[in-house]
Structure 1
Amino acid sequence: MRGVAVRVATEAAEHVRTRRPQVFGDSADAEAEAVQTKSTPTDPVTVVDTETERVLRELLAQLRPGDAVLGEEEGGGDESVAGVRWVLDPIDGTVNFMYGIPAYAVSVAVQIDGVSVAGAVVDVARDVVYSAAQGHGATARYADGRIERLQCSGVTELSMTLLATGFGYGSRRRAAQGAIIAELLPKVRDIRRIGSAALDLCMVASGAVDAHFEHGLSPWDWAAGSLIAAEAGALFDVPAATSTSADGVVTVAMAPG
């Protein structure tokens, strides 16, 4: 299943990479037509998000016919998490994608009874493929073909922790998150806001940051990345597989020290 996750995520990432200059090129009119909003005006979705989810679903239908699929843009039918279910985020970091900030990813995980057992996250701009399978560790495959086994950092003191986080879309949640940041900032080394939870979790896995926390993630945000972090040695706590962003539950991954 790890191989399937890597294959479909990699092919979808190539679609994203190809389509960005076509959609967000020199034509402002074309760009305006390519973007809509979802829960709030600060929660955008592009035509490439929806296209890429279709690419993922079509590939899975060929490779894993009959498996359930949950995706950010098209949902997933019933609410059951029993059995095998693929969890897809076609572009995690859509705002970065729109603005040309090179931090957005395709995330693909497979869960059994709501627990992630394999997954892949492709950093589209850097062409890095992060992947993991339960009990088999986590790796990063770089554009030059080099493969690195991932290991989270050994930091043991809060004051030396580089912390990654993200913010929700609603004004009330953002205000609450801002208050948490104000309380944490004097106690840690520093805080980073990359703009993609999936990449944040992979950065925990690689040791690029020491911890990640965020309220209000949906399963497609954390399903692959949390497994990759865990298989690299991180401690983690994620919401229930049935949880939604509206529930506001916190997702945490951190070095074990």
Structure 2
Amino acid sequence: MSTNTPPAGRPEALYRLAERVAIEAAEFVRVSRPPGRVEVAATKSSPTDAVTEIDRATEDLIRAAIAAERPDDGFVGEEGEDLIGTSGVDWVVDPIDGTVNFVYGIGAYGVSIAARVDGAVVAGCVVNVATGETYGAVLGGGAWKTQAPAGGPTTPLTAPTPPSVALALVATGFSYRPEIRAAQAAAMTQLLPQVRDIRRIGSAALDLCGLAEGRCDAYVEQGLKPWDLAAGSLVAAEAGIVLEGLDGPPDERLVMAAHPLICREYFALVRACGF
């Protein structure tokens, strides 16, 4: 390990770095975005799964900023190759979560940075680029929201008591692969009559932070990658939300999230609907 690399097991210090870099990256995204629709540079899982040059440049900025302070850490990013570290810490990064929103100028896209120690997420920060709101969490240390601009008032996040499942507003998202999207639509057809309504915002990280502060009551999505999930899931969990997968922890196969008062009923409903 480099003598300049801080020890692995300090979640608060890792959070401070995540927050500083996320705010810097969000400002870079904001000032780099041209007027109108952003040009798509490439696609990934399908022709509708977009990547822009600003996604790539933002991830490069984040990689460089973290490496400058913690050169022995690993890095898992959406747009570049994984880097294996030697410190026990790795960084899980989505430079723009909600790229399609970013392309179209819809104001719901964010920078998501999480730190893992020996595989467990211990710190996470999500910055809503369009609003400047910053969401943060440290494992065992709670979750919070800082109003824009950076350095504004910070308030703890505790997920509010939800209504019944029948009156729950459910956040969700869909795969970019047509065959998977068709199956998800069939499952959603079963779920929709049994809840208040659904919201498809277009950013998993912001959905999970919204769940933490009560902008929705429950969440379900399939196909999330680690960078989609890492920071937002910690914010939600530290705010009191329960997260599960189909048969264990949340993963790419399925992510379900809800308040403890409704989670058992809601999770059973999601499974019964065929997700």
Q: TM-score, normalised by structure 1?
A: 0.90
Give the match for residue 70 of structure 1.
76
1:19 is matched with which residue: 22, 32, 45? 32
Find the residue that maps to 1:118 and give its secondary structure: strand
Q: Distance in 1 between matches of 2:147 and 2:130?
A: 12
Aligned partner of 2:137 in structure 1 is 132
SS in 1 for 2:179: helix
Question: What stretches of structure 2 of length at least 5 have no aligned partner?
Answer: 1-13, 262-275
Residues 1:119 and 2:124 aligned together? yes
Q: Give distance in 2, aligned partners of 1:73 and 1:109.
A: 15
Moved beyond 3 Å, runs of 4+: 238-241
Q: Distance in 2 between matches of 1:69 and 1:112?
A: 12
Residue correspondences, number: 245
Measured at CA, do residues 66 and 95 of structure 1 come closer, stay the same or move farther in structure 2, by a change above 3 Å? same
- 8 Å CA contact retained: 2:73, 2:86: no
Instruction: Give the 3-state SS of the residue equivalent to 1:233 in structure 2.
Output: coil
CA shift at 1:153, angstroms?
2.4
Alignment partner, residue 174 of structure 2:
167
CA deviation after TM superposition for structure 1 residue 81, in Å: 11
Structure 1 residues 135-154: aligned runs within 5 Å = 135-144=140-149, 145-154=152-161
Q: Is the 8 A contact 1:105 1:123 kept in 2?
A: yes
For the 8 Å contact 1:138–1:150, the answer to whether it is kept is: yes
CA contact (8 A) 2:222 2:253 kept: yes
How far is 1:75 from its partner?
A: 2.8
In the alignment, what sits opposite 1:37? 43
1:250 aligns with 2:254: yes
TM-score with structure 2 setting the length? 0.84
d(CA) in 1 for partners of 2:215, 2:98: 18
* Alpha-carbon distance in structure 2 between the residues aligned to 1:185 and 1:81: 46
Residue 105 of structure 1 deviates from its aligned partner by 0.3
Answer yes or no: is 1:207 the counterpart of 2:211. Answer: no
- Identity over aligned residues, as a percent? 49
Residue 84 (str. 1) matches residue 89 (str. 2): yes
Distance 1:76 1:127 in 2: 28
Alpha-carbon separation, structure 2, partners of 1:225 and 1:81: 25
- Separation in 2 of the partners of 1:63 and 1:11? 15
- CA deviation string 1:155-206 (max 9, x = no partner): 1521011100000111111001101110011110110000000000000111
Shift in alpha-carbon separation, 1:5–1:113, aligned structure 2, 3 A: same
CA contact (8 A) 1:92 1:221 kept: yes
Deviation at 1:39, TM superposition (A): 1.8
User: What is the RMSD computed on CA atoms of the aligned residues?
Assistant: 2.2
Specify the alignment match of 2:98 in structure 1: 93
Aligned to 1:6: 19
Question: d(CA) in 1 for partners of 2:87 and 2:15?
Answer: 19
What displacement does 1:152 show?
1.0
Match of 1:221 among 223, 228, 240: 228
